Amino acid sequence: MPTNNYNQRKLNATENNLLNVNFGQKLWFIVAAVIAVCAACLIFFKFVNPSYDEEAALKMKPIFFGNTRVDDEPVNSITLIAPTTTAVYFNILPQKKQFQFDDLLSNDNTPLDVNMYMIIQVRKGQTPSLLRNYGEEWFENFIEPYFRNKVREYVSSCSPFDLMSNREVLSAFDNKIKQSMRQYVASLSRKANFPIDIQQVITDRVMPNKEQLEEMNKTAASIQAKQTQEKRAEMELARAKAERNKAVADKAYMTELNLSPAQFIQLRAWDVIEKKHGANIDVLVGGGETPVWNIRRK
């Protein structure tokens, strides 16, 4: 009996060892298979990982048969995609698009340089429609050409001086273009969804072009020089008038006191001396043609 028990325990131990070996082999096989699958995914598949301000639309191409299409669901987080699928990223935050126009003609054919910008936003969750209906170059192909055309059209109906200095005219000008852009987007959306919002249109600066500005500066300089000369002439005329009035007053003074020209001149001379710093005239001696003055110096 003891011998049989020993043999039985030995047999059980052998079986357990075999089971452990088989389990270990299976476990390693599973791990190897997982690693192989992961490696295949890294090799044959791609990851899409949009930023916080982005959304991706997937352009899906079949591996063998079928048609290329845009997936209806946008991608907002890290996602594994097939090697034939392409991710197109769209910024879904409001974007500032700047425009510079050279030599736009106003209503009097004055060439103007205009700087403007537009705030535009792509609607979140609708980027697949934007890609499917209007493509990756939707802004360059549909928004920018129409915007530039409308700016030229409205500038040609405005006075250059209003555009350069009248804020009310500029505000109305911006509002007209914004409304025109919104109507244009709405008309396109009636045919195929165009999921963008025109939020603002703002004119930053309106200036004459370089050649026109130089001419205006020359004209302004000429006007300023003319005004300076006119002011100088007015001052000279005023001075001459004042001198004539003074001469009339002096003559009346001479007549009233019955003074000869020599006496009047001498009297005026002593007036000048009296006003001179340090002189004090207080005594008049003699009543002849040439009186004697007592002048004391301080």
The domain segmentation of the chain, as residue ranges, is 91-213, 218-295
Residue 276 CA to chain centroid, in angstroms? Answer: 65
Q: What is the mean pLDDT of residues 55-63?
A: 87
- Helices 167-191, 144-155: axis angle to 10 degrees equals 140
Element (H, E) at 69: strand 69-70
In angstroms, the CA 176 to CA 151 distance is 10
Is the confidence at residue 272, as pLDDT, over 70?
A: no
| pLDDT-based confidence at residue 236 (cuts at 50, 70, 90) | confident
Q: In the predicted model, what is the mean pLDDT of residues 142-148? A: 96
CB within 8 A of 4, min separation 6: which ones? none
pLDDT-derived band at 215 (thresholds 50, 70, 90) equals: low
- Cα–Cα distance list, 12 to 16, 20, 91, 153, 197 (Å): 6, 12, 67, 97, 77
Segment holding 224, helix H or strand E: helix 210-257
Give the residue carrying structure tokens 């020993």.
Answer: 6
For the cut 70, the answer to whether the pLDDT of residue 42 exceeds it is no
pLDDT value of position 129: 96
Q: What is the pLDDT of residue 262?
A: 72
Predicted local distance difference test score (pLDDT) of residue 255: 75
| Least confident window among 107-111, 113-117, 144-148 | 107-111
Closest CA to 122 of 133, 114, 112: 133
Quick check: 6 pLDDT over 90? no
Torsion of CA 274, 275, 280, 282, to 10 degrees: 40
39 has a pLDDT exceeding 70: no
Residues 6+ apart with CB under 8 A from 31: none
Architecture of the domain defined by 91-213: 2-Layer Sandwich (3.30)
The rounded percent of the chain whose pLDDT value lies above 90 is: 38
**What pLDDT does residue 31 have?**
58
Do the beta carbons of residue 24 and residue 61 sit within 8 Å?
Answer: no
pLDDT tier at 46, thresholds 50, 70, 90: confident
- In 92-161, DSSP assigns E strands to 95-105, 111-122
Which residue(s) pair with 57 in the sheet? 88
Between residues 214 and 250, which one has the greater pLDDT? Answer: 250
Highest mean pLDDT, choosing among 99-113, 145-159, 266-280? 145-159
> How many other CB atoms are found less than 10 A from the CB of residue 209?
14
pLDDT band at residue 40 using 50, 70 and 90 as cut-offs:
low
Percent of all residues in the chain with a pLDDT value above 70, rounded to a whole number:
62
21 or 184, greater pLDDT: 184
**pLDDT over 60 at 285, yes or no:** no
Confidence of residue 180 (pLDDT cuts 50, 70, 90): very high
Judged by average pLDDT, the poorest of 38-52, 134-148, 233-247 is 38-52
Distance from CA of residue 28 to its chain's centroid? 63
Confidence of residue 14 (pLDDT cuts 50, 70, 90): low
Please check the confidence at residue 103 and state whether its pLDDT lies above 80: yes
